[in-house]
Amino acid sequence: MMRILMIEDDSKLSSIIEYRLQKEGYILDICSDGEDGLRWGKEQIHDLIILDRMLPSLDGIEVLKRLRESKITIPVLMLTALGSLHQKIEGLDFGADDYMVKPFEMEEFLARIRAMIRRPTKWDNNEETSYADFTFQVIEKRINGKKGSCSLSKKESELLEFFIKNQGQILPRGVLLSRVWGPDAGVEDGSLDTYIYFLRNRLKSIGSSVQIIVERGVGYRMEKGN
């Protein structure tokens, strides 16, 4: 199930969009000011961000700039009343993936969301990526380090991929379970701990100093070792 973050201070519009998106099967989180929206965006638990430009505390362009400066590549649909050619170009140049002007037709809005979510999220290298002191062969589900290489199971590979894409971030247990097993999988909470244990051992076996740190009562984060 796709999860969308909407950063919008118009409560009436937010309620209308929330109703329609929920009918379409999306999960929607709503923030009404820029600072909160930036914090939520940096957690990287969403598949898409819908972003207004005129926001309390931090305007939408600044939110967008800071997200992109933090190497966060979540697709952003800028939804705003500011619709001059210059403003559209500015939004796209600062990293928006699409730009839509209010007022808008709901069906077009939904179509644009579907189109953006269909776009594949790619690694810089589609087959291999590097993190700290090891490389991860995504397709082959294999990690390589100074002490050799090791194959991963499908779930171990999906966990590692999500950790690398959200490096340094604290990832709540519920988010990890939802992203790797699916929101309706009904997996026991202990399964996550078991696979984290497996993944730690795999990293250790190839001589990696990368650590998967438990954040008590919250979840896990992965960080580079010394």
From the first residue on, what is the mean pLDDT of each consecutive set of 10 residues in the chain (226 residues)?
Answer: 90 95 92 94 88 95 93 89 90 89 92 76 63 89 93 89 81 78 64 90 94 88 83
Q: Are residues 143 and 105 in the same domain?
A: no
Q: How far apart are CA 122 and CA 115, in angstroms?
A: 16
* pLDDT for residue 119: 59
* pLDDT for residue 5: 95
Looking up residue 88, the CATH number of its domain turns out to be: 3.40.50.2300
Q: Coil, strand or helix: which one is 37?
A: helix
* pLDDT for residue 44: 73
Please state the separation of Cα 102 from the chain's center in Å.
26
**What residues have CB less than 8 Å from 190, skipping those under 6 apart?**
none
* pLDDT for residue 52: 96
- Give a yes or no: residue 123 inside a domain: no
Question: Hey, how many other C-beta atoms are within 10 angstroms of the C-beta on 22?
Answer: 11
Q: Are residues 64 and 163 in the same domain?
A: no
Q: Are residues 7 and 40 in the same domain?
A: yes
Residue-number span of the structural domain to which 72 is assigned:
3-118
Q: Are residues 208 and 170 in the same domain?
A: yes
* Number of domains the chain contains: 2
Looking up residue 158, the CATH number of its domain turns out to be: 1.10.10.10
Cβ contact 97:88 at 8 Å:
no
* pLDDT for residue 32: 94
Q: Are residues 84 and 167 in the same domain?
A: no
Dihedral of the CA atoms 167, 172, 173, 176 (nearest 10)? Answer: -50
